[in-house]
Amino acid sequence: MADILTVEHLKAYYLMNYFGITREVRAVDDITMSVRRNEVYGIAGESSSGKTSFIRVLAAAIRPPLRVVAGSARYEFDDRSIDVANAGPEAAEAIRWSHLSYIMQGSMSVLNPVRRIERTFEDFAARPLGLSGRALRQRFVEHLGRLKLPPEVLRAFPHELSGGMRQRVTIGLATIANPQFIIADEPTTALDVVVQKDVLSLIRNLQKEMGASVIFVTHDMAVHANMADRVGIIYAGRLVEEAPTRQLFTAPKHPYTAHLVASLPRIGDTTQRPALEGRPPNLADPPQGCRFHPRCPLAIEKCRQEVPPLATVAPDQRSACWRWDDVVPLPGSIPAARVPEPVR
């Protein structure tokens, strides 16, 4: 079966026109990737790396000044296929929540503070489920049971719930119509460590149960390590590396990834961690050539002139670096030899 999502040469820019002067911010610049069926695909990137703009295109929430300039993002659902990068709002509306859903970051700002949870559930689910009255309510109670939430939650206001419970409710909203594709944007960033692990395992279990595919966005590499099947790293609007999770952590082939992996402190290891100098580039005026070259320890003249293509460098692994063969794991990285037994 074909991949559920195929993105080809996607370019989405913020185009602004002030008094006849056009400015463009290349937030998503030529991204090609795909998400397989039944897979959790992790996307990592810093703030203002363009990951949120990329997600907006994938979630069919493209609003000016963000515009798709070129490329496509095609979903192959079981019963239909749609290119969200070029489809109109009506076509996007038809698949939202029923096929494609979205778990948002701040659970307090997602849930309406003056409406009971049940009303919010009705707003989200009545149309895609096509149910009403008692049948609809019965469905809510069943679904909350899957999320280990008591039915009384439906009568509660958002402020009466703890942060972890509220995040479970937003996950419930996103999954109630059994979507085939879920986009999760930093769903656990605001949570405490204990609750975070709990919520992550909940998302993972629901995904397996429903057979859905998930794009999971966070800047926390430790979450990706435990959550994702494959991870893609975005830097300054471009996908710079993509690999199966274990491979990405033990044998990174892009200097930026190598740094991200090595800078993760671990309990039981006191190796001096390196800090990356410089700052992420301004997307309105990105550097020539490879966008990472001003901060890259391996940069050569070619990196300053030519943009490296995202090339396959190992089975299932792609890297956009001219010198990918010279990238070695930095001190503090995880030794490849210690392979844990998978529990899945």
Partner 1 sequence: MSVPLLEVDRVSKEFAMGGLLSRQHIRAVDDVSFTLQADKAEIFTIIGESGSGKTTLARMILGLERPTSGDLRFRGELISRRMSRPERLAFMAAVQPVFQNPFEAFNPLKQVDRYLFATARRFLPSPDQAAVEAAADAALVKVGLSLVEVRGRFPHELSGGQLQRVAIARALIPNPPLLITDEPVSMVDASLRMSIVNLLKALRDDHGVSVIYITHDLATAYYISDRIVIMQKGKVVETGPARAVLDAPEHPYSRLLKASVLSAEDAGAGKLGPATDLMALSDRLLGATESRLEQRQDGRAVRTYSELPAA
Chain contacts with partner 1 (rule: CB under 8 A) = 44, 46-47, 163, 192-194, 196-198, 200-201, 204, 219-223, 225-227, 244-250, 256, 259-261, 263-268, 270, 272-277, 279-280, 334, 338, 340-344
H or E stretch including 336? none
Name the minimum Å distance from CB 233 to partner 1.
Answer: 11
The nearer residue to partner 1, 2 or 284, going by C-beta atoms, is: 284
The nearer residue to partner 1, 72 or 163, going by C-beta atoms, is: 163
Name the minimum Å distance from CB 83 to partner 1.
Answer: 32
Q: How far apart are CA 40 and CA 211, in angstroms?
A: 11
Q: Establish how many alpha carbons lie within 13 A of residue 222's alpha carbon, considering only the half-sphere containing its beta carbon.
A: 10
CB of 28 within 8 A of CB of 52? no
The nearer residue to partner 1, 64 or 335, going by C-beta atoms, is: 335
Which of 217, 260, 225 is CA-nearest to residue 52? 217
The nearer residue to partner 1, 95 or 296, going by C-beta atoms, is: 296
Name the minimum Å distance from CB 213 to partner 1.
Answer: 16
H or E stretch including 92? helix 89-95
Name the minimum Å distance from CB 244 to partner 1.
Answer: 7
- Judging by DSSP bridges, how do beta strands 238-244 and 230-235 pair with one another? antiparallel
Name the minimum Å distance from CB 136 to partner 1.
Answer: 31
Residue entry with tokens 């409710």 = 169
The torsion angles phi and psi of 129, rounded to 5 degrees, stand at -85, -25
The nearer residue to partner 1, 128 or 158, going by C-beta atoms, is: 158
Q: How many CB atoms lie within 10 A of CB 244?
A: 15
Name the minimum Å distance from CB 206 to partner 1.
Answer: 12
The nearer residue to partner 1, 100 or 223, going by C-beta atoms, is: 223
Which of 280, 275, 237, 235 is CA-nearest to residue 259? 275
